[in-house]
Amino acid sequence: MKTLISLLLLCATISVYAQNDNPNYDAELAKKMGADAYGMKPYVLVLLKTGSNKDTVKATMNESFRGHMENIRALVKANKLIVAGPLGSNPQAYRGIFILDVKTIAEAKTVLATDPAIQQKYLDADLFEWYGSAALAAYLDASDKIWKIKP
């Protein structure tokens, strides 16, 4: 019986120490960023790829991609887009990525429907649920202060 009680006390002690409470935890910041207990939250990862529209009329393509860039800026302002950027050449024809601050694929599809390059089928998208750091959006303030030439 003594051994069982000692074992239970040891297990209880280990579980208390195993929780690894963060001494830097900021409950207000965690709530503001939508973080769960692990500092994470759901997003949707979008892999943009070459779409089915093979039209090569420069004026039409330029208008669609100009609208694509304007839409990116609008989605950032609306707190829906956290990360965006082009990819290098690859065999899958992936052109870029988005990380959308939305919880579901359905909501991501609604957000992507506002993009002229997707509307015109110059781009298509593969969507994945993704679980990442809730602090990801914190880099946006700094990112707007480091570019010299407007992308």
Strands (E), 1-151: 40-50, 81-86, 94-100, 123-133
Q: Is 3 a domain residue?
A: no
Q: Is 92 a domain residue?
A: yes
The predicted-structure confidence for 92-145, as pLDDT tens digits, reads as follows 999 999 999 999 999 999 999 999 999 999 999 999 999 999 999 988 888 878
Q: Produce one character per residue of 33-68: b if its CB has 16 or more CB atoms within 10 Å, e if not.
A: bebeeeeebebbbbbbbebebeeeeeeeeeebeebb
The predicted-structure confidence for 79-106, as pLDDT tens digits, reads as follows 999 999 999 999 999 999 999 999 999 9
Q: Is 25 a domain residue?
A: no
Q: Is 75 a domain residue?
A: yes
Q: Is 119 a domain residue?
A: yes
Q: Is 81 a domain residue?
A: yes
pLDDT on residue 9 = 54
Mean residue pLDDT of the chain comes to 89
Residue 13 has pLDDT above 90, yes or no: no
Residue 16 has pLDDT above 60, yes or no: no
Q: Is 128 a domain residue?
A: yes
Q: Is 7 a domain residue?
A: no
What domain range includes position 122? Answer: 36-138
CATH number at residue 92: 3.30.70.1060
**How many domains does the chain contain in total?**
1
